Amino acid sequence: MSRLLGRALLAASGWRIEGELPDRPKLVAIVAPHTSNWDFVLGVAAVFALGLRVRFLGKHTLFAPPLGTLMRWLGGTPVMRESPQGAVAQAVAMIEDAPAVVLGIAPAGTRTRGSPWRSGFYHIAHAAGAPILPVAFDGARRAIRLFAPFVTSGDYESDLPRLMALYEGVRGIRP
């Protein structure tokens, strides 16, 4: 039923999914650019349409009542952005403990324009041995684009430009 709902929401909003979901049991999906609160709504619609159960990290304020119950049901785990110590280890443990899991993260961690990507997503993927699934919310094409999985080398400084290059020309929902 949720697949049908997700597909209907995407169709009604004029969005589509481009690309294929890789056949991998564990992935760290990075979603960029994060420019609008609508990113979350479209992301949930895409997750439903693809029949996925995704876990995600979100700022702790999103988990206060009454929204907190829904956020946890959708797979959310709160993170204190002011003091994120332990978030990487917690996420790695969650991935290692599950037989199959997709962890969704916005690498910039915020909707603020021009924010640099934080490195947590990379360290989580590398430590857990899970490939990164780059996902783009392309407002110009009205498409949620799934790119090929990216296997980390352990060298963040050399891998980051290659990951960011995938997003060249991608315009967010709110450019």
pLDDT digits (tens, 9 = 90+) for 52-88: 989 988 788 889 998 899 989 988 888 776 665 678 8
Both tokens assigned to 66? 């009454």
Whether the per-residue pLDDT at 16 is higher than 70: the answer is yes
pTM over 0.85: yes
Q: How buried is residue 34: exposed, middle or buried, by Cβ count under 10 Å (0-12/13-18/19+)?
A: buried
Question: Distance (Å, rounded) from C-alpha 30 to C-alpha 11?
Answer: 23
Both tokens assigned to 125? 């993927």
Strand partners, 146: 135
Do 89 and 123 contact (CB within 8 A), yes or no?
A: no
